[in-house]
Amino acid sequence: MPTRDLAHLSDEAVVALTARSDEIALAELYDRYGRAAYGLALRVLRDESLAEDAVQEAFLAVWRGAARFTPERAKASTWILTLVHRRAVDLVRREERRRADVLPDDDAVAGIASSAEDMAWLSLKRQRVQSALVQLPEREREAIELAYYGGFTQSEVAERLGEPLGTIKSRMFSGLARLREILEGEAWTSTPSTT
């Protein structure tokens, strides 16, 4: 296949070519956004290897989903970086679940939780919040995780997801209210006794 120069085309036109299984177009998108995508993934994941995985999987999603891209809804750059961000957040969730499976015993946590009982209670609370998050609708959960696990402001979350700021604020408000209801609704039979 001959090499073509696509630099003169808009991002949306290059996505349209990608939708037709044009590998050169996908390479052009990667040339344009690969660095920004990696920077975003690294900011969320704080791990170079996981960030590379997130970018690779996101560009695979671009390849597979280019035909579903709608330029009227968002710019191509926003769509691509949203795919990267979602994949990075998925990897954060996976790593959080993996870490929650084992009680930490490093000195930093030992300094915070001064006894084995405190450490067990801290781990239980973390697991309860994670299991409650899973019960939220996907859009609410995604906004909350981006803000609290990803460290993004509501404006940044709105930009990453290609949604209006008011929509994100509403999702986070209703998601946090729902999360509070879920956590308050659970029986606290394992609460440590204060007597």
CA distances from 136 to 67, 95, 124, 132, 143 (A): 29, 19, 19, 7, 11
Tokens of 134: 């899973």
Please report, in tens digits, the pLDDT of each residue of the chain (195 residues total).
Answer: 445 789 899 999 999 999 999 999 999 999 999 999 999 999 888 888 889 989 999 999 999 999 999 989 889 999 999 999 999 988 888 877 776 655 455 555 555 545 666 666 666 777 777 788 888 888 888 888 887 777 777 788 888 888 888 888 888 888 888 888 887 776 443 444 444
Q: Which helix (H) or strand (E) holds 64?
A: helix 48-65
- Report the predicted TM-score, pTM, of the whole model to 2 decimal places: 0.52
Q: Which domains does the chain have, with CATH numbers?
A: 1-101 (1.10.1740.10)
List the end-to-end C-alpha distance of the chain, in Å, as a whole number.
77
